[in-house]
Structure 1
Amino acid sequence: MHINHTFNLMKKRITATTALILSGLLYGSPVAAEPVYSTMEEFMASPEYVKFIIDNLWILLAAAMVFIMHLGFASVESGMTAAKNTVNVTYKNVFILCTGILAYAFIGFQIMYPGDFNGWFGFGGFGIGFDSADPVAFLSPAYGEDMTIWTDFIFQAMFAATAATIVSGCVTGRIKLHVFMIFGFLLVAISYPITGSWLWGGGWLDELGFYDFAGSTLVHGVGGVAGLACIILLGARKGKYGKDGSIKPILGHNIPLATVGAFLLWFGWFGFNGGSVLSANPAEVSFVFVTTAISAAAGALSAMLVTKLFINKLDATMALNGILAGLVGITAGADVISPLFAAIVGSIAGAIVVFAIIGIDKMKWDDPVGAVAVHGVCGIWGTLAVGIFVAEFSVLTQLIGVLAIYGFTFLFAFGVFAALKYTIGVRVSEEFELKGLDMAEHGVPAYPNFAGVETNGFESPELKPVMDK
């Protein structure tokens, strides 16, 4: 059980040439065979124990940093949408993190890493898969070189929940809460692990040579394309598009909150990418931190410049999405793309996200936070960039992986959401949408000391303080 996963953990250690040389000098070979121990006492007395402690601790800390990203997602989504839906946004994000952990624990983890399977689908049984007959194998280098099975699970669970929480931003303001809950559960429990198993579980894309270091496609692309399927079926928010085809902006109510969220995501991304080294190897982790930071910074500056040149606006939300675009763009190749090329990857991602947001809006696909553009479109670019900037990888192979994962995810999401739409219905009533989901579904406003005044019947409320009499 988890044999393919163990091999895959070794394969994910591919790094830039300079990082490999430095890694050998400072840390030893990242793929050296680890001894197998018969008892925990024997392992703890071995010279490998200290290294294992450090590696395992770093991956746990990285998991905690990815956990913080969920606060970032909640803040970005809340800030960039109407105040009247803030409680609903918060509730969805709490739900998806909690259900994501549980669904991945009981179902998803064993689909994503089923052990021996045909390369397309496998299931290792319910639960995390700890073999009580041989606990040492799951708590020593015999499992994954640098982590215990528990560390591996919690790190991977944070990724699984991330894919689903991206969808939340796409559908905010008009989806029934219980529908989102059902959809999010199925995405984490079934769809995400299946496509994840094709690469990270040692499946057919892994054998083909497809490469996605930390999930530009496997995590972010999955969330973006699943969100796209949902918004096509769900429809736009009321008042977003005029009968004459005009686009009416529905402004976010709290850009400072969205800014806090973007910086929380940037911080967490160091764990997202840095933890994907799957060890505390100083050369590799520091290299990944640098490429991650450079791409994010380049993405923001590029989005600022492109927005000014082509739209003639200094749009703060575009700058924030530029940061996220740069982060998504570098995630597939953060360990193999040089710092110089990371700046190029981020710059192109920052430009892409501006045009993608505008293009998606012109298609009348209402994405309140730009999640499809940031995660879906820039996820494609980041994955292809590995083939463009790293000679070891093929653009064609990268494209095959993108098409396979995006295609499967879109069909799964579209099918599930269509089934929900034509059975129980997916959209709240127009009355509830106008009133705001905070009051309609939760019975409480996010800002009880303020009174909402609708500006045009459908747009975000303009807030004014309620004075004590």
Structure 2
Amino acid sequence: MRLKLMATLMAAMSALLVLAGPAAAQDVATVEDVALVQFNLDVVFFMLAAGLVFWMQAGFSMLETGMTRSKNAANIMMKNMADACFGIIAYFLLGFGLMYGASAGGFIGTDTFALSAGSYSELGLYGGDSFLAADFIFQAVFAATAATIVSGAVAGRMKFSGYLIVTLLMTTLIYPIVGHWKWGGGWLDSLGFYDFAGSTLVHMTGGVAALVIAGILGPRIGKFAKDGKPRAIPGHSMPLATLGMFALFWGWFGFNGGSVLAADGSLVGPVLLTTTLAGCAGGGTAMVYTWLRYGKPDIGMTINGVLAGLVGITAGADQVGAIAALVIGVIAGVLVALAVPAVDRLGIDDAVGAFSVHGVNGAWGTLAVGIWANTGEEGLTGLWHGGGAGLLVDQLIGVVAVSAFVAVCAAALAFALKATNLLRVSEAEEIEGLDIHEHGMYGYPEAALGASAYPGGPVTAPTGEVAVSLPAADARSEEPV
């Protein structure tokens, strides 16, 4: 009887195993499918973030145009389009390989030029977290951002041809080399330097290049009085500049959020929290500072304060807490308000405050990681939280090294352009505006020419109403808008 019972039980167990086999295999397949879906969600998130970063080109276009003279509006737009069109192609052909290719001594990459290392669908950077093509797209829009920071600083007097050369050199050599030092596994990465999304590698790189080139280029006509005292040259459209700031703020969600490299709310949420708090704190602080200092809250400085806070948090958005993000933003707002007049006192005409926003606060944000980093990652505990001064020293070394390299490269480039007469337009061209002289078209043609210059003539009202005629071109002021 017992033998029969045991035989029956064994047969039943065998049957269960046979039946369970396909089910278990199906469970394994389901787990693999879930992992594949998650992987592709991460890549899609990565690409959507790249789209937001690319939209920052529109933000910079509006910001720089609004903060400068209307006679140079089309020129500003053309420079930003050139950053996207030529900068991304140049980064594809050469820059990406120098940044992420096999390292030569931790200084520069040596392969993957024009994505030649393999299939575009191969797993690429970041330990296999994405595809090569996806990696390139995300990094290319970062490269274009670094280049376009220079545009606003040199507004109103730089030749378009010279600016194109700056864009090409920024995206093929200057930004890729410093990027390799950290993100390409170079010597700064080995040192322990940390820059989450580019306070130093993107923003300070662009800011330092902007300052050096603007200094060698010289100021706009009328910027400084005979005694050297700086004079304000108001932007022609602060509403447009404000829209540009909000477009940039939106793009920063992709800039910092996308740098998480995963569609993981537990990681992306805190990054966007610190990003938002720092940006708002920077803008609010700059607004209050100018209100107390000058008696009125200044819109231009408030715009730059928001951007300064965003730049400041970019290095450590994933490493600091909410209160630290507020402090970083507040200090950034004060720094930009102090740096803008300080640059003027140096006799350098930075038309939109690019160095004060990106250079000064890129450095500040990078150093702030060494003070407030507190996520428990090995080697990433800041001075404030008992981690000692080691990380802060590493951050300082990175800031100094990148600043020095970029400054030398930018100076050599600017002097070369000056020697070949590719740096600055003539005085007459500057006075009349770069739109017409560099591009053959006004940014606001009806305002510049008058309605009578159009084939259709002046604006007329519907029948039965009084016609409205805009002033002819010769009735306008001789001073270009």
Please classify the TM superposition score into its range, dividing by the shorter chain length. 0.7 to 0.9
Aligned residue identity for 2:50: A
SS in structure 2 opposite 1:450? Answer: helix
Task: Determine if the alignment matches structure 1 residue 113 to structure 2 residue 63.
Answer: no
Contact map agreement 2:289 2:334 (CA 8 A) in 1: yes
Bigger relative CO (Cα 8 Å, ≥ 6 apart): 1
Q: Which residue of 1 aligns with 2:115?
A: 128
Task: Determine if the alignment matches structure 1 residue 90 to structure 2 residue 87.
Answer: no
443, 448, 451: which one pairs with 1:451? 448
Q: Which residue of 1 aligns with 2:312?
A: 329
Contact map agreement 1:100 1:160 (CA 8 A) in 2: yes
Contact map agreement 1:450 1:466 (CA 8 A) in 2: no
Find the aligned partners of 1:446 and 1:226 in 2 and give their Cα distance. 27
Alignment of 1:414-433 (within 5 A): 414-433=411-430
Contact map agreement 2:103 2:186 (CA 8 A) in 1: no
Q: Which residue of 2 aligns with 1:53?
A: 40
Contact map agreement 1:130 1:149 (CA 8 A) in 2: no
Q: Which residue of 2 aligns with 1:383?
A: 366
SS in structure 1 opposite 2:407? Answer: helix
SS in structure 1 opposite 2:320? Answer: coil
Q: Which residue of 1 aligns with 2:216?
A: 233
Task: Determine if the alignment matches structure 1 residue 99 to structure 2 residue 82.
Answer: no
Shift of residue 447, structure 1, vs aligned partner: 1.2
Find the aligned partners of 2:31 and 2:178 in 1 and give their Cα distance. 37
Q: Which residue of 2 aligns with 1:256?
A: 239
The alignment's C-alpha RMSD in Å is: 2.0
Q: Which residue of 2 aligns with 1:406?
A: 403
SS in structure 2 opposite 1:444? Answer: coil
Alignment of 1:57-456 (within 5 A): 57-132=44-119, 138-139=122-123, 144-390=127-373, 392-393=381-382, 394-451=391-448
Contact map agreement 2:58 2:244 (CA 8 A) in 1: yes
Deviations 1:205-237, CA, capped at 9 Å, x for gaps:
000000000000000000000011101110000
Deviations 1:219-273, CA, capped at 9 Å, x for gaps:
0000000011101110000000011122211110000000000000000000000
Find the aligned partners of 1:258 and 1:197 in 2 and give their Cα distance. 33
Find the aligned partners of 2:31 and 2:352 in 1 and give their Cα distance. 49
Q: What TM-score, normalized to structure 1?
A: 0.85
**Closer, same or farther in 2 for the Cα pair 1:88/1:466, shift >3 Å?**
farther
SS in structure 2 opposite 1:201? Answer: coil
Deviations 1:392-451, CA, capped at 9 Å, x for gaps:
251111000000011101100111111111123411000000000011111211112213
Shift of residue 452, structure 1, vs aligned partner: 7.7
Aligned residue identity for 2:70: A
Shift of residue 184, structure 1, vs aligned partner: 1.0
Contact map agreement 1:438 1:446 (CA 8 A) in 2: yes
Aligned residue identity for 1:445: Y
SS in structure 2 opposite 1:449? Answer: helix
Aligned residue identity for 1:114: G
Contact map agreement 1:165 1:223 (CA 8 A) in 2: yes
Aligned residue identity for 2:73: T
Find the aligned partners of 1:47 and 1:238 in 2 and give their Cα distance. 62
Find the aligned partners of 2:365 and 2:126 in 1 and give their Cα distance. 30
Q: Which deviates the most, 72-81 or 280-289?
A: 280-289
Shift of residue 310, structure 1, vs aligned partner: 2.1
Task: Determine if the alignment matches structure 1 residue 467 to structure 2 residue 470.
Answer: yes
**Closer, same or farther in 2 for the Cα pair 1:46/1:231, shift >3 Å?**
same
Find the aligned partners of 1:413 and 1:165 in 2 and give their Cα distance. 14
Find the aligned partners of 1:237 and 1:452 in 2 and give their Cα distance. 24
Aligned residue identity for 2:303: L
Contact map agreement 2:311 2:358 (CA 8 A) in 1: yes
Q: Which deviates the most, 86-95 or 414-423?
A: 414-423
Find the aligned partners of 1:175 and 1:273 in 2 and give their Cα distance. 31
Find the aligned partners of 1:44 and 1:389 in 2 and give their Cα distance. 39
Shift of residue 146, structure 1, vs aligned partner: 2.7
Shift of residue 125, structure 1, vs aligned partner: 4.5
Identity of aligned residues (%): 48
Aligned residue identity for 1:253: H
Contact map agreement 2:103 2:110 (CA 8 A) in 1: no
Shift of residue 308, structure 1, vs aligned partner: 1.6
**Closer, same or farther in 2 for the Cα pair 1:147/1:313, shift >3 Å?**
same
Find the aligned partners of 1:144 and 1:424 in 2 and give their Cα distance. 46
Deviations 1:100-140, CA, capped at 9 Å, x for gaps:
110111101111001243101231142113414xx76x148
Find the aligned partners of 2:418 and 2:395 in 1 and give their Cα distance. 34
Q: Which residue of 1 aligns with 2:385?
A: none
Q: Which residue of 2 aligns with 1:24?
A: none
Q: Which residue of 1 aligns with 2:21?
A: none
Aligned residue identity for 2:330: S
Find the aligned partners of 1:400 and 1:50 in 2 and give their Cα distance. 41
Q: Which residue of 2 aligns with 1:17?
A: none
Give structure 1 stretches of 5+ with no counterpart.
Answer: 1-41, 454-464
**Closer, same or farther in 2 for the Cα pair 1:466/1:437, shift >3 Å?**
farther
Find the aligned partners of 1:468 and 1:416 in 2 and give their Cα distance. 45
Aligned residue identity for 2:154: V
Number of paired residues?
Answer: 413
